[in-house]
Amino acid sequence: MYNGKARAYTNIALIKYWGKKDKELILPMNNSLSLTLDAFYTETSVSFSPYHTKDSFVLDGQLQDEKATAKVSRFLDIARKKAGVNDFAQVESQNFVPTAAGLASSASGLAALAGACNDALQLGLSEKELSQLARRGSGSACRSVFGGFVEWEKGHSDDTSYAQVVPSDDWEEELAMIFILINDQQKDVSSRDGMERTVATSDFYDGWLETVSRDIQTAKQAIAAKDFQALGEVTEANGLKMHATTLAATPPFTYWSPDSLKAMNKVRQIRQTGLACYFTMDAGPNVKVLCQKKDVSAILAALQEDFTKEQLTCAYAGEGLKSLEMEV
């Protein structure tokens, strides 16, 4: 039996990854830039053994079905191939999220699994190589290998597509992200299906691709200059642009629910009162609000006029992937 355990934090993209140019290797169409956060994380342990007769996957204490296990097995196969072993594995993951509001993240989950496999199989991977491996599990996971601001360089091959830290002089320590949890009953379009349909059919996708590298530059300049307004403006605009591509897909779709719109309008209103805050959304109805630490209590108080305390969670900058001791 050979074991490994790791913890990874989730990340939220300020400039989004939206579209794959290689589905097998998970090579993205564009660079993306994220902030790793401390509030949501995953701890995963993996034990390979010649005595296991199949892979198994337990998530939050629940043995997972064939479909979820097959996804984990596909990832384990990549790690097994690197190590030159064939043994099956038991994978146990725990998601640490403040509520059960559908925030379980594939980014933290697959980054933690990559770290656990690296330790168990003694792959000796560098952070860059860990990022490449995590990317094979879920694109955004490659960014969770690092803390703070992170850019995923799209690259053109398995070796050239990985994330790295964006130098920031620790400016992220002054920032925060408030999650507005919106529970809707809509049927989900997964990020994978959503991006695939958009790339294949959206009339707006070319516009997305033409402008996203400029947005990355703007975001990096804002980080270098510690210019919160510039970073917030490009974050909000880039997120809206990503969501606009879904409206022009065939068939069209949206991740927004009525409460998402209510939250976006609320953020604009709060901004008009002089508190700097900007929203972004991913492949779901929840709204995330980028703001400065110094304004968190005032912004939370304003958001509580329209949302319950339970719907609001504040996160700060988080760290990168970390190896953990296995409990015996």
Q: Which residue has the tokens 């969670």?
A: 313
Given 19, 115, 139, 155, the residue binding ligand PMV (CB under 6 A): 139
Does 161 engage in binding with ligand PMV (CB under 6 A)?
A: no
Nearest partner of 318 among 3, 8, 6, judged by Cα: 8
Return the structure tokens found at 190. Answer: 């997964």
Burial of 305-324, coded b for 16+ CB within 10 Å and e otherwise, reads eebeeebbbbbbbbebbeeb
Which residue carries 């509030």 as its tokens? 39
Q: Cα–Cα–Cα angle for 17, 23, 26, nearest 5°?
A: 50
Query: What number of chain residues touch ligand PMV (CB under 6 A)?
Result: 12
Q: Is 71 in the site for ligand PMV (CB under 6 A)?
A: no
- Select the residue interacting with ligand PMV from 7, 16, 80, 271 (CB under 6 A): 16
Per-residue binding string, ligand PMV, 176-205, x by CB under 6 A, is: ---------------xx-------------
Nearer to ligand PMV, 13 or 125 (CB): 13
**Where in 282-311 is the site for ligand PMV (CB under 6 A)?**
282-283
Contact 284, 194 (CB under 8 A): no
Binders of ligand PMV in range 30-49 (CB under 6 A): 32
Contact 144, 134 (CB under 8 A): yes
Show the site string, 104-133: x = touches ligand PMV by CB under 6 A, - = not: --x---------------------------
Buried b (16+ CB within 10 A) or exposed e, 134-150: bbbbbbbbbbbbbbbbb
Cβ(199)–Cβ(29) below 8 Å: yes
For CA atoms 204, 207, 213, 217, give the dihedral sign.
Answer: negative
* Binding of ligand PMV by 279 (CB under 6 A): no
Q: Does 239 bind ligand PMV (CB under 6 A)?
A: no
19 near ligand PMV (CB under 6 A)? no
Q: 142 in helix, strand or coil?
A: helix
For the bound state, the minimum distance from the C-beta of residue 16 to ligand PMV, rounded and expressed in Å, comes to 4
Q: Which listed residue (138, 198, 238, 311) binds ligand PMV by CB under 6 A?
A: 138
Positions in the binding site for ligand PMV (CB under 6 A): 13, 16-17, 32, 106, 138-140, 191-192, 282-283
